[in-house]
Amino acid sequence: MFHTRNYRELTKLFFMFVLPALSSQLLSGIYTIVDGYFIAPYTITNYLAEFVKTAPVSVEHSAFESQFVSVRAIGSGQERFCDPAGCQFVHW
């Protein structure tokens, strides 16, 4: 049987080492669940589309064309910041 002195030392060691490790694992598990909840719908849609047997989404739709043009416009504005021959620093 444990003596009172040894039991107190073990309890102290438990709270010192085991409890933080368990709480870290718990938070890691919660992070994984939340990450999967938000990321999974965007990563498995193409995989699930094979089972649903739907036609692929066409890029010829007018909504796609308008968004594509707007993204290209944003991209062309960013190119001037990434140009190595620029004359202004980032902190101007």
For the stretch 29-38, pLDDT in tens is 999 999 888 8
Structurally, the chain folds into a number of domains equal to 1
CA angle, 37 then 54 then 49, to 5°? 35
For residue 51, being part of any structural domain is answered with yes
**Residue 87 belongs to a domain:** no
Q: Determine the pLDDT at residue 29.
A: 93
Q: Is the pLDDT of residue 85 over 80?
A: no
pLDDT at position 69: 84
Q: Is residue 91 part of a domain?
A: no
Confirm whether 72 is domain-assigned. yes
Contact indicator for 81, 87 with CB cutoff of 8 Å = no
Query: In this structure, is residue 16 part of a structural domain?
Result: yes
Does any domain span residue 34?
yes
Find the domain containing 57 and state its range. 4-82
Quote the CA–CA distance of 36 and 24 in Å, as a whole number: 18
The answer to whether residue 30 sits within a structural domain is yes
Is position 92 within any domain?
no
